[in-house]
Each structure stands twice: as structure tokens, then as C-alpha cells.
Amino acid sequence: MGNQTVIAVCGKGGVGKTVFSGALVRVLAERGLKILAVDADPALGLAYVVGLPTDVKTLGEVRDHLIRKARTDRDPEQIAGMMDYLLLEALTETDRLSFLAMGRSLSRGCFCPVNTLLKEAIRNIAQNYDVVLIDAEAGIEQINREVMSVVDIIVVLVDTSQRSRRSMELIAQVMGDLNMKARMGVILNRWKDLDGNGDSAVSNFEALSWGKIPEDEGLLRNDALGQSVFDLPADSPILESVRRITDTLIKT
């Protein structure tokens, strides 16, 4: 794989973004790619899904630390110097992936320069990976503001509901607002054949369809047992689907 690919997974709440992101991490790891997974959900759902501890240092905490330092030490040199150190401290590295959690900052206020500082540091770290995968809590505006300005692929996870369609439209609108040039496509999650109605719902989407993922009882069982996506059997339906989707997303 030559160039780095930045993928953001978006969609309305509860549509299954985090589990899909976890499955994608596993499939990308199987292909020998170096992955940086960014969990933009303060609940740290992705950490749990990929089997990492959830007590990691978050970028929200790094942000608070820098603001505190600016208040107390008031030394720009020192703040700039500690940036890489703090970010590496927040980076969880395993043999399968590296992981950054956005968390939530307790400092009220915009403090835009901190976001700039953090984004630049993330971009430096990200250069060392083949794929940066961002599990977005809300929309892509949060990613643009807090994580990375440039995203190559936006995956919108949808189900058969009309609300999903609306969320996809909103994401497309925000992409326009932010002048983002990413490729966008939809993946239909927990696919059920509703007497043909599901298919007609999909055909109404105005974005490219990158595939479907069926309901997977094995996944529910896995989740109930508190296991990670790396514990799923290799032939589980979700992994089979995500492998096909990955072929479309990334040409290795």
C-alpha cells in the first residue's frame, strides 16, 4: 500500500459505527496494515470493541493539561515541547493497532489554538500509519475541528430507517460546508430483507453503496461475553462482509 488513507466512520447514533469500526480494524490488521484507530466517542466504545483497556489517557485530558500549563507556567516554549510527549503518552500501542481516544475536555471554552496544536501533533503521528480509522461520535464537523482536517473516505453507516437517510444527507451537507473532498459511501448495517422494502430504501440513497452487513448473532453473543472483535471466528458473517467492503474501500 503506497499512500496513507484516512477513513471516518459516521452515521446516526446506535447504527453500529463502533462495532463496524472494530471489525474494520481487525480486517485491516489481518492484511498487515499499520493502523491508527481514533475513538472520537467519549464513551470509549471502540477501545472496548478492539479489546483495549478503557482507562487510557485521552486527548481531552491532554488538552486540559495544556490549558492548565498555559494558565500556570505561561511558557509557550514549554507547552510546545511537551506536546509530543503528552500525545505519545496518550497513544496505546499493541501488535495489532495503535489507538488514540479523544475523550472529553473538561475545560469550557473554545481554546482553538489547542485544537490546532493537537491536530498538528495527530497529523505527525498519523504519518507513521497506513490507515487512520476514526470512529466518529457525531458528525464529520467534530472530526474536522478536533482530529484531522483531511479525510479521504467517509463511510456512512445506515439502517433501513428514514432517519438514516436524513443523517446521510446532513453529513453530505456538512461535507459541502467544510469543502471536504472525501469519497463518501453508505454501508447498510444489520441488513434485514423487509419484503424488498429494505432494498428500495437503499436504492433511494444518493451516495454510493459500498455493501451490506447482515445481522450477526455471533456478534451479539461475543458482545454479551465481553469479548473483542479479535475473538470473533474468522468466518463470522460480519467479518466476511467487512472483508468485501474493505476491498472496495482500500486497494492494497
Partner 1 sequence: MSDDGRFITEVKMVTDTLEMEGVAARRFQIPLGCEDEDSPRGDDSRTIIGAANTVLELGHPSTTSICLGMITEREDLVAGDGVVVMGDELYELPPGRHSFALIVLSKVVEATESSRRALSRKLSVCDRLSGVMARVALGKIWIRISQEALDRDVTLKVIGYQLLSEIRKEQETFGKTEVILIAAEKNHIEKLRPVTEKLARETRERYKTEIKERGECENGLDCDDCPENEICQILKDAVAVSRKKKRQT
Binding region for partner 1 (CB under 8 A): 66-67, 70-71, 74-77, 79-80, 83, 108-114, 116-117, 120-121, 124, 169-170, 173, 176-177
Smallest distance, partner 1 to C-beta of residue 106, A: 10
Smallest distance, partner 1 to C-beta of residue 177, A: 6
- Rg over alpha carbons for the chain, rounded to the nearest Å, is 18
- The CA distance from 30 to 243, in Å, is 10
- Comparing C-alpha atoms, which of 99, 131, 100 is closest to residue 32? 131
Helix or strand run (H / E) with residue 108? none
Between 21 and 58, whose beta carbon lies closer to partner 1? Answer: 58
Smallest distance, partner 1 to C-beta of residue 209, A: 19
Smallest distance, partner 1 to C-beta of residue 152, A: 20
Between 1 and 170, whose beta carbon lies closer to partner 1? Answer: 170
Angle at 212 between CA 231 and CA 139, to 5 degrees: 85
Between 166 and 221, whose beta carbon lies closer to partner 1? Answer: 166
CA 158 to mean position of chain CA atoms: 15
Q: Contact 152/184 with Cβ under 8 angstroms? A: no
What letter represents residue 149's amino acid? S
Smallest distance, partner 1 to C-beta of residue 124, A: 8
Between 169 and 223, whose beta carbon lies closer to partner 1? Answer: 169
- Comparing C-alpha atoms, which of 238, 235, 245, 211 is closest to residue 223? 238
Phi, psi of 110, rounded to the nearest 5 degrees:
-80, -45
Between 32 and 109, whose beta carbon lies closer to partner 1? Answer: 109
Smallest distance, partner 1 to C-beta of residue 70, A: 4
Between 34 and 69, whose beta carbon lies closer to partner 1? Answer: 69
CA 188 to mean position of chain CA atoms: 17
